[in-house]
């Protein structure tokens, strides 16, 4: 790794870029054609993430199969005068003293950057406290508010660029540590539980693979996606996205706090004990805002079923058994429900993809986006049908995270 005061600029071999990465490179080079960066600068990109199947709520203790999508966010870091943090994003510039916490009132992207800088100064720690300022330039091709992990990708790209400037290693434990620090800082800033997996994918994605996240022990296993299976994210510009399932996530978080466990996987006989706890809450307070016992039971059952299907599908993918994987996906689609309204823009995309021969599964945040599972022979027709219906078709398992340079 290098430091801001090391010998730069240095010529390195550019690797294939993304539109977001190309934009931040152009911004810091000032339009120059050279592959060199100005002294004290670093750039990096990180991909979007998408939930394929399973439970995105880590507190439930189940499993989730997730992957990178073929759009990304990119960040360029450089020096700034005094002890200032300068954030350039979306054609706007925000300047502030180097923060100890993400300031209130910032736009979404600037707030994401500020929270990430705090995490990488305090929790990691990676960005040094030297009295020198930092300029952060951001570009993103990730559709916002679609459940595709835009915040996580921005934070991950910032961490990778900072690691190029100040880090001493780049390996799986280091990236896992950055993911945890960024996730905790963003959750604190938002004031609610948020999923960890978008940060894991943004920092540890491997092209052509999906990540099997075991919430029980934090293990992440890379699962190859066979060449004869294609995965696409479909989203419509007319859909602003939906809120995540806050009530369900809050239920699992409250249950874990009540029993003093990080996830329900560590609670013996969890389903029985959690349902007894819910029953007791309603007996003590009939006006309690706790979910009904029936609703809690359905949430617990869905988490268990999702874990079972993740195990099955990950095995199918490892063995190249696409037919078996698609059969399990079809069962999951049938059982989970939540299909978008047929008259809504996203519902029209779902119908178009289905007619082209794909299985269509909504993401965890209904009406935000869809994942189309298609045999390779139906992939081109599926993508064309999605676009003809007015949506975008983004390939899954296509984009790794990292720096834009070769050796």
Domain that holds residue 87: 19-222
Contact predicate 382/358, CB 8 Å:
yes
- pLDDT of 92 > 50? The answer is yes
Report which of residues 182 and 243 the model is more confident about: 182
Q: What CATH number corresponds to the domain at position 87?
A: 3.30.230.10
The whole-number average pLDDT for the span 247-262 is 92
Inside any domain, residue 125 = yes
The whole-angstrom separation of Cα 81 and Cα 291 is 52
What gap in Å lies between CA 355 and CA 330, rounded to an integer? 15
* Confidence tier at 237 by pLDDT (50, 70, 90): confident
- For residue 274, is it within any domain? no
* pLDDT for the residue 366: 58
Tell me which H or E stretch contains 317.
helix 293-318
Question: In whole angstroms, what is the distance from residue 355 CA to residue 206 CA?
Answer: 31
Residue 85 lies in a domain: yes
Confidence band, pLDDT 50/70/90 cuts, at residue 1: very low
d(CA 59, CA 48): 22
State the virtual CA torsion across 387, 389, 395, 396 in degrees, nearest 10: 170
The answer as to whether 363 is a domain residue is no
The answer as to whether 357 is a domain residue is no
User: Chain-wide mean pLDDT for the chain?
Assistant: 87
pLDDT in tens, 137-160: 999 999 888 889 999 999 999 999
Q: Is residue 73 included in any domain, yes or no?
A: yes
> Is 330 inside any structural domain?
no
pLDDT of 356: 95
Task: State residue 6's pLDDT score.
Answer: 37
- Return the DSSP state at 118: H
Phi, psi (degrees; rounded to nearest 5) at 92? -120, 155
The least confident of 12-21, 190-199, 216-225, 249-258 is 12-21
- Does 90 score more than 90 pLDDT? no
Q: Please check the confidence at residue 11 and state whether its pLDDT lies above 80.
A: no
- In the DSSP assignment, the letter for residue 405 is B
Residue 102 is assigned to a structural domain of this protein: yes
Q: DSSP assignment of 124-184, as one string?
A: S--S--SS-EEEEEEEE-SPTTSSS-HHHHHHHHHHHHHHHHH-S--SHHHHHHHHHHHHH
pTM score? 0.89
Query: What's the structural domain count of the chain?
Result: 1
Give the span between the Cα atoms of 279 and 377, in whole angstroms.
51
- The DSSP 8-state label assigned to residue 404 in this structure reads S
Q: What is the mean pLDDT of residues 305-309?
A: 91
**Beta strand 133-140 with 84-89: parallel, antiparallel or unpaired?**
parallel
Q: Cα dist. 210→8, 65, 163, 277, 280 in Å?
A: 36, 7, 24, 36, 41
């Amino acid at each position: 790794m290098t430091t801001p005061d090391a010998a730069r600029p240095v010529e390195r071999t550019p690797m294939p870029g993304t539109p977001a990465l190309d934009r931040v490179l152009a911004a810091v080079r000032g339009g120059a054609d050279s592959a060199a960066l100005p002294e004290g600068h670093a750039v990096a990109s990180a991909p979007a993430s998408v939930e394929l199947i399973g439970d995105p709520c880590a507190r439930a203790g189940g499993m989730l199969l997730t992957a990178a999508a073929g759009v990304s966010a990119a960040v360029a870091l450089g020096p700034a005068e005094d002890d200032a943090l300068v954030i350039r994003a979306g054609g706007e510039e925000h300047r502030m003293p180097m923060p100890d916490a993400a300031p209130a009132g910032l736009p979404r992207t600037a707030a994401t950057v500020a929270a990430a800088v705090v995490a990488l100064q305090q929790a990691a720690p990676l960005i040094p406290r030297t009295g020198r300022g930092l300029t952060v330039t951001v570009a993103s091709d990730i559709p916002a508010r679609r459940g595709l992990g835009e915040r996580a990708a921005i934070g991950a790209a910032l961490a990778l660029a900072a690691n190029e400037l100040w880090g001493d290693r780049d390996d799986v434990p280091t990236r896992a540590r950055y993911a945890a620090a960024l996730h905790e800082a963003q959750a604190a800033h938002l004031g609610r539980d948020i999923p960890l997996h978008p940060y894991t994918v943004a920092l540890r994605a491997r092209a052509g693979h999906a990540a099997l996240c075991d919430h029980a022990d934090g293990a992440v296993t890379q699962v190859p996606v066979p060449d004869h299976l294609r995965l696409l994210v479909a989203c419509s510009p007319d859909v602003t996205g939906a809120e995540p399932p806050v009530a369900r996530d809050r239920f699992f978080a409250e249950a874990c706090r009540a029993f003093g466990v990080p996830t329900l996987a560590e609670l013996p006989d969890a389903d029985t004990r959690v349902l007894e706890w819910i029953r007791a809450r309603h007996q003590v307070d009939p006006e309690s805002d706790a979910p009904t016992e029936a609703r809690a039971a359905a949430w617990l059952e869905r988490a268990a079923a999702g874990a079972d299907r993740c195990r099955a599908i990950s095995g199918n993918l490892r063995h190249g058994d696409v037919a078996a994987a698609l059969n399990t996906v079809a069962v999951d689609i049938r059982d989970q429900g939540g299909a978008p309204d047929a008259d809504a823009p996203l519902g029209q995309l779902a119908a178009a993809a289905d007619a082209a021969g794909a299985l269509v599964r909504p993401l965890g945040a209904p009406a935000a986006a869809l994942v189309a599972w298609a045999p390779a022979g139906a992939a081109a027709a599926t993508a064309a049908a999605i676009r003809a219906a007015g949506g975008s078709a983004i390939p899954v398992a296509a984009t790794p995270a990292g720096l834009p340079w070769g050796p």
